[in-house]
Structure 1
Amino acid sequence: MAEQSSVVRGVTASERVFQVQLAFKDLGPGDHGTGEIARAAGLNDATVSRILAAGVYEGIFRRAPGKTRGRWQLGQGSAAIGFNAIDDAYSAQMPTDKVKAVLTSLHEKTDNGLTFLYTRATGEVPGRQCVEMGVGESDLEELNMTTAAVLSVTRSLRTGASGRTILAYLGDSLVRRVIEQEIPPHVGPGVIRDDAELLSSLQTIRDRGYALGYQECMAQWHSCAAPVFWDDTITASVLLLKKAELGEIPEAYVTATVRAAAQLSGLRGGWPGALRDEA
């Protein structure tokens, strides 16, 4: 009987770590004291204190910065675990050849527009990285880039339609970190430099479901981007680039970009509604 009782009452060490992580989710953004974390996790203070201290070395938890003592935040390690799991699920459902086909189709539907898929790159300050493109016979030297450079450089979320599209769906704390970054050099004349204007643009993206950039990342190129979600979490953005001589991005090109993003999304909800159903 004693052994049976132990099994009923017992909770493994790994389960306790998960309970602490879930406690942060329940408590919401910001930093929290050991006692309130323990209550939310259903564990005693001493156990939670040991788990938090051990998790610092793996980046799962972090001590709140500043003079506040005894308060804790989730670390970047927790975010990385979550996004790696999402990326694995996303990759399993969306093979490279299908991504390539969607981008190539968008390239053709937009009169040979240059198309790219940018995924969110995790880090202390999140960025974005290109993982696939559909450029047909176009020469990327038009962008003063090589294929290797496009696929290997991590770029800021602060600039460009594709970056702002991902940024629009991140939490407030991550948005603040990105906005605190300096604007990268060699951007276009249309880059948004004012922080208030940048924040306003994020709301516009959420309202519309897409972003427009006019010579934002580089001179002589306009852009349109739409978000790609997986289980209601932003994972990437589809980017269309067109020469600035075109003038404003035509509505048909915007619709095609949104539909491409919808095709690459694994949402269980209704975004972006009818467009997703038609994609």
Structure 2
Amino acid sequence: MIFRIRTAVCTIFLLLLSCAALFAASNLLSLKVRSTDDRIQAFRCQQGPESESLWKELEGAAPTMSLEAFDYVQDKLFIQQSEDSVSWSETYAYHYDAATDVWRLASHKTSELQRSITAYAVAMRTASPIVHLYETSYGAGVEFMQETPFLQNAVFIADFSASGADSNNVFMDQFLILNGRFGLGYKIAVTKRLSLVPSFTYGVLAHTGNTDLDHDGNVERQWYFDQQVRGSLGFDFMLNNGMSMVVKPEVAAFFESNNVGFLYGITAGLKFGW
């Protein structure tokens, strides 16, 4: 049995759904979805009274989906579409009218800006171990990422980390290195699961440690604050709908009173999105 589906013209895309079969006893609904825009390469959907953050991705430019236990009295079908499987369109909500056998566009709303948090480990080396009094630092950090409303695929970044390094001079045993920065990145879809995210950030790099300049046992904590700029290229491999593995080489320049320091290294961690 074929049911009529009402089409809805939205701001950019025309979304067409065709219903293959509806079995009243089992509430199993089969649908085929496609877009008249050839640029659309992926869809994702969910069902229920309201849309949530858990989406099911559909394979292909004209996929068929099966909805189990679909309650056409209370449930709606929510669909988003994408050109690159990274950035998604607004949400289209469809309601099935059993009396007329017609799918109607219940509403569509602008998609919420996607955000994520990454927990990572980091290792950095200095290009001037004699000047900076240490060679390699190891630590951990968190990175917050939020899509921007003004440019598709652009992301706002906030990053905070703490690292430790063994000192290579006799006046200080260890350094504690604190890093805080903000900036912008841009997501580039390479494949369905792999994305590149080049980014540029600006912030403050703080070095601190206990010093005993006179070797008399009187230890004093010293702080050094420097401005920094940092560039990176993130390799984001999606493991599932809400989690990715991220590996990111990066380089930093920090500006001391009479010197410019350089750091280079790599971070690796897990990103959780919602």
Please tell me the TM-score bracket, short chain as reference: 0.3 to 0.5
TM-score by length of 2: 0.35
Select the structure that is richer in helix.
1
For normalisation by structure 1, the TM-score amounts to 0.34
Q: Name the structure with the higher strand share.
A: 2
Return the index of the structure with the highest Cα Rg.
2
